[in-house]
Amino acid sequence: MIFLHGWPGMGLTWRAQMQALAAEGWCCIAPDMRGYGDSSVPKAPGAYALREIVRDMVELHDHVGGRAAVWVGHDLGSPVAVALASHYPERCRGVALVSVPYFPDGFALANLLPLVNRKIYPADQYPDGQWDYLRFYVTHFEQTVRDFDADIPAALAAIYRPGNPASRGQVYRSALVTRNGGWFGSQHRPPAVTPDPALWPPADFDILVAAFRVTGFRPANAWYLNDEANVGYARSAPNGGRLSQPVLFINGDLDGLFDITLSDIAEPMRQACPDLTVTHQPAGHWLPLERKTDLVDDIRSWAKDRQLA
């Protein structure tokens, strides 16, 4: 079982799930993805296109024996997992997607906009809906890097917050980034925030901070600069990206970005995944950290039901 983290994480994101599932006999692997932790850190933004990252995963998979694996992805790790499953189906016998559903035409702003809930985000006020932050990464890339790098511990503490039931169905903060002049507004640096130890145990959070002190946010944010290349790569997948493998999607019901119950964001996945299982957790976007044990239960039950073990 190979676990792929997203932005802004590292393989350590999956500690709880790996420990639990390895104890049950799974061989569990969680790499630091390209641009993160101890992985390679190319300078060119194009080096973070999905095609290149999938090639990394193919090389990793070969290195550990190449047997068909169960791939588990969270956040931007989910597009990597499904891209590998669609382009290299022989390497994948099941895919578990956490928080971010599958977009067979590519995870890109142009493919997200038609799925925005316009009752929450009227087009005249929020043309990009909750995806305004994606637009901002492209139009103000250098600023995003400077703002996050201004105080890395505070930035990571501010990013990793649990879901808030009171915010469900409301305009999410990601829709206001351009309007506010950045994630942190005119201050251009994150506020002083205490890390949430229920998400990241303090020792693990220190490791995460130390890793970002080395790389900064530039390589992590560069993942967002490759929409055109990623759409082209998605469209080159066999069978239009349709997945024959069992697919699990775990939804965060308090996720202001991806909660599939508030829009049609899951419809492309439903059309492309005939063997789809959907589960729900009462949490925000950081499901591997917010619902550590529940996530294990969902993956374990699905794998047993689909005879993947």
What tens digit of pLDDT does each residue of 183-200 get? 999 999 999 999 999 999
With 90 as the cut, is the pLDDT of residue 53 above it?
A: yes
Structure tokens of 101? 């559903």
Whether the CB-CB separation of 282 and 254 falls below 8 Å is answered with yes
Region 218-232 average pLDDT? 98
Question: For residue 267, what pLDDT is reported?
Answer: 98
With 90 as the cut, is the pLDDT of residue 309 above it?
A: no
Residue with tokens 């915010």: 167
Structure tokens of 200? 């990241």
3-state DSSP of the chain: CEEECCCCCCHHHHHHHHHHHHHCCCCCECCCCCCCCCCCCCCCHHHHCHHHHHHHHHHHHHHCCCCCEEEEEECCHHHHHHHHHHHCHHHEEEEEEECCCCCCCCCCHHHHHHHCCCCCCCCCCCCCHHHHHHHHHHHCHHHHHHHHHCCHHHHHHHHCCCCCHHHCCCCCHHHHHHHHCCCCHHHCCCCCCCCCCCCCCHHHHHHHHHHHHHHCCHHHHHHHHCHHHHHHHHHCCHHHHCCCCCEEEEEECCCCCCCHHHCCCCHHHHHHCCCEEEEEECCCCCHHHHCHHHHHHHHHHHHHHCCCC
Query: Quick one: angle between helices 202-215 and 152-159, nearest 10?
Result: 120
The whole domain housing 79 covers 2-305
The CATH number given to whatever domain includes residue 241 is 3.40.50.1820
Number of domains in the chain: 1
Query: Which residues have a Cβ under 8 Å from the Cβ of 88 and sit 6 or more positions away?
Result: 54, 58
Name the region of 239 (left: φ>0; alpha: ψ -120 to 50; beta: rest). left
Rg (CA), the chain: 18
Q: Give residue-wise pLDDT tens across range 1-43.
A: 999 999 999 999 999 999 999 999 999 999 999 999 999 999 9
Separation between Cα atoms, residue 67 and residue 128, nearest integer Å: 41
Structure tokens of 292? 């550590």
Confidence class for position 77, pLDDT limits 50, 70, 90: very high
Confidence class for position 179, pLDDT limits 50, 70, 90: very high
Region 193-220 average pLDDT? 98
- β-partners of residue 252 are 281
Confidence class for position 208, pLDDT limits 50, 70, 90: very high
How many Å is the maximal CA-CA distance in the chain? 53
Region 238-261 average pLDDT? 97
Structure tokens of 287? 């499901």
Question: For residue 296, what pLDDT is reported?
Answer: 98
Confidence class for position 252, pLDDT limits 50, 70, 90: very high
Confidence class for position 289, pLDDT limits 50, 70, 90: very high
